[in-house]
Amino acid sequence: MTVSSVRYSALKQEEPGTSESVEMQFGTDPDYFKSAFTYANYNDLDRMGYQAPPRYGRWTGRSAGRFTWKIRETWDEEDEQVEQRPLSPIEMILVALAFILTIATLPFSLIFTLKLVGSTEKLVVLRLGRALKPRGPGPSFVLPCVDSVHQIDTRLAAFSVPPLKVITHDRGLLELGATVYLRVRDVIASVCEIQDRDSSTRTLASTLLYRHVQKKRVCDMSHAHQKRELAATVKDELSAFTQQFGVEITEVELSEIKVLKVGENMGMAALSAVAKSEVGQQIWSVIGPTLEEIAKETRDQPEPEEYTSISLIDVGDINETERPIATEKPIATEKPTAPAVDLNHLITIINMGIDDSLTNTIGKVYQIYCKGYDPFYIDLKHGSGKAEKGKCHNPDVVLHVESSALTGLLSGNISPLSAYMNGSLRIEGSVQDATSLSHLAQRVAHLL
């Protein structure tokens, strides 16, 4: 095996063919050295090498005014300029004939040609289908047969969205409406961009309100903060659409929400759906016998001798004679419920507690349905108020009360909120209005 020999030598520090001193001469040859900078005097365009961008002739003619580009940053009435192209010869002849007809029929033609525009209005004139500059306030002259006029009110206006019945995310049922405040900012766009401005805005507001409410839960809509957020969201989305035809949405207010059906517990609903399915039936067939045995053993187990109080668990299926009770210690018993009251006597007591001040404070009509009693209503809205048998045609709140809880509610022993939570009271309408009956309960409590 042979190894080649390698020799190293130092590199030369000087390039061959170059002199030790190199002198650069400026100005001798223009192609000898070029720089990106210039050494000419300021504004000396001839020596700086500056070349201006090419300029083109101005585009003029009939087609030059057909299109315009403009960015609208703010709403300004002075910016309402309409670019118009010259009239064609036929259009000029029609306008001239209309003008001659107006002059020939003076002064009778002033009835049709003179328009008075109010201080809060704008007049949009379409001449042969082309929009002219908005006019007003004050008198304005239009030509018959060739001009069509639209008088637009620029003041703040409002319209109401009809009450909607919406099924919420938790399968509850709500009834609510809204009031929308708007103002016309661009009168030409409000005439030319949309056919029916008010109807379209009302339909869009109703659709947006329905779409957002159905994603909420009943408990969410009972908070004032959630209502304000919902109103702001509807306002922003509605305003983004109406700006296309010159309408500005200033405010959206939601009406009072009526709860027609309380939302379901989604966890229990999901569990019930699983239990009704085939998988749930199979699971229950496995664990069902075991649970029944545990329940049977618990039921047959005797209670201790030192039992001194009644359990809070429902023991209605157990015979009282079979349960051992200690005789050494007294047994705590529940508070006896109030005896049933005759309906006529109850209505008389309620009428004794109603006066003008209570009617002004509450201002609602309550329809009450109770098992064992005829339907009756309490009117705390009209006149001095009254309570009568029968049904009211348009109640504000409908109450379905258990017979055991009716006397307790009126006597003040049971609050409306606690009765509503334990299921003995069902409310159709506003829960806040239902709790206002506590003012009446305070007055009739000492009469029962």
Query: Domain containing 440 — which CATH number?
Result: 3.30.1050.10
Residue 188 is assigned to a structural domain of this protein? yes
Same domain, 298 and 252: no
Measured between alpha carbons, how far is 33 from 307 in angstroms, rounded to an integer? Answer: 115
At a CB cut-off of 8 Å and minimum separation 6, what does 232 contact? 252
- Do residues 70 and 176 lie in contact, with contact meaning Cβ atoms separated by under 8 Å? no
- Do residues 411 and 353 lie in contact, with contact meaning Cβ atoms separated by under 8 Å? no
Amino acid at 292: E
- Do residues 219 and 180 lie in contact, with contact meaning Cβ atoms separated by under 8 Å? no
Same domain, 189 and 120: no
Residue 110 is assigned to a structural domain of this protein? yes
Same domain, 251 and 161: yes
What end-to-end distance do the CA atoms of the chain give, in Å?
Answer: 127
Q: Which residues of 86-102 are buried (b: 16+ CB within 10 A; e: fewer)?
A: eeeeeeeebbeebeeeb
Measured between alpha carbons, how far is 169 from 221 in angstroms, rounded to an integer? Answer: 11
Same domain, 203 and 138: no
Average pLDDT over every residue of 387-405: 84
Same domain, 279 and 350: no
Check residues 42 and 204 and name the one with the higher pLDDT. Answer: 204
| Joined tokens for residue 430 | 């506003």
Q: How many CA atoms lie within 13 A of 59 on its CB side?
A: 6
Could you tell me which of 256, 302, 83, 290 has the C-alpha nearest to residue 163?
Answer: 256
Residue 409 is assigned to a structural domain of this protein? yes
Residue 10 is assigned to a structural domain of this protein? no
Which pLDDT score is estimated for 440?
81
Q: How many CA atoms lie within 13 A of 91 on its CB side?
A: 9
Cβ-count burial of 246 within 10 angstroms (0-12 exposed, 13-18 middle, 19+ buried)? buried
Same domain, 257 and 161: yes
DSSP for 223-280, please give it: SHHHHHHHHHHHHHHHHHHHGGGTEEEEEEEE---EEEEPPP-HHHHHHHHHHHSHHH
Q: How far is CA 301 from the centre of its chain?
A: 58
Q: Is it the case that residue 16 has pLDDT exceeding 70? A: no
- Do residues 234 and 205 lie in contact, with contact meaning Cβ atoms separated by under 8 Å? yes
Amino acid at 209: L
| Joined tokens for residue 268 | 């229990």
Q: Is it the case that residue 181 has pLDDT exceeding 90? A: yes
Reported confidence tier of residue 11, pLDDT bands at 50, 70, 90: low
Same domain, 362 and 433: yes
Residue 138 is assigned to a structural domain of this protein? yes
Strand, helix or coil for residue 13:
coil
Cβ-count burial of 239 within 10 angstroms (0-12 exposed, 13-18 middle, 19+ buried)? middle
Quote the Cα angle for 331-336-342, to 5°.
Answer: 165
Measured between alpha carbons, how far is 232 from 226 in angstroms, rounded to an integer? Answer: 10
Residue 6 is assigned to a structural domain of this protein? no
Check residues 10 and 327 and name the one with the higher pLDDT. Answer: 10
Widest CA span of the chain, in angstroms? 133
Which pLDDT score is estimated for 338?
42
Check residues 346 and 324 and name the one with the higher pLDDT. Answer: 346
Same domain, 217 and 241: yes
Same domain, 162 and 251: yes
At a CB cut-off of 8 Å and minimum separation 6, what does 371 contact? 402, 403
Cβ-count burial of 202 within 10 angstroms (0-12 exposed, 13-18 middle, 19+ buried)? middle
H helix and E strand count, the chain? 15, 14
Residue 82 is assigned to a structural domain of this protein? no
Structural domain harbouring 97: 89-153
Same domain, 165 and 179: yes
Phi-psi region of 49 (alpha: psi -120 to 50; beta: other; left: phi over 0): left
Same domain, 362 and 429: yes
Amino acid at 356: D
Q: Is it the case that residue 54 has pLDDT exceeding 70? A: no
Residue 338 is assigned to a structural domain of this protein? no
Q: What is the pLDDT of residues 222-244, one digit of tens each?
A: 788 888 899 999 999 999 889 88
Q: Is it the case that residue 323 has pLDDT exceeding 50? A: no
Which pLDDT score is estimated for 363?
85
Measured between alpha carbons, how far is 174 from 152 in angstroms, rounded to an integer? Answer: 37
Measured between alpha carbons, how far is 222 from 430 in angstroms, rounded to an integer? Answer: 9
The total domain count for the chain is 4
Reported confidence tier of residue 88, pLDDT bands at 50, 70, 90: confident
Q: How does the average pLDDT of the chain come out, rounded?
A: 74
Q: Is it the case that residue 43 has pLDDT exceeding 70? A: no
Which pLDDT score is estimated for 306?
44
Whichever domain contains 233, its CATH number is: 3.30.479.30
Domain boundary among 220, 238, 261: 261
Measured between alpha carbons, how far is 294 from 311 in angstroms, rounded to an integer? Answer: 19
Phi-psi region of 273 (alpha: psi -120 to 50; beta: other; left: phi over 0): alpha
Q: What is the pLDDT of residues 202-226, one digit of tens each?
A: 999 999 999 998 888 888 887 888 8
Same domain, 315 and 394: no
Evaluate if pTM is beyond 0.85: no
Quote the Cα angle for 285-290-291, to 5°.
Answer: 95
Share of the chain above pLDDT 70, in %: 65
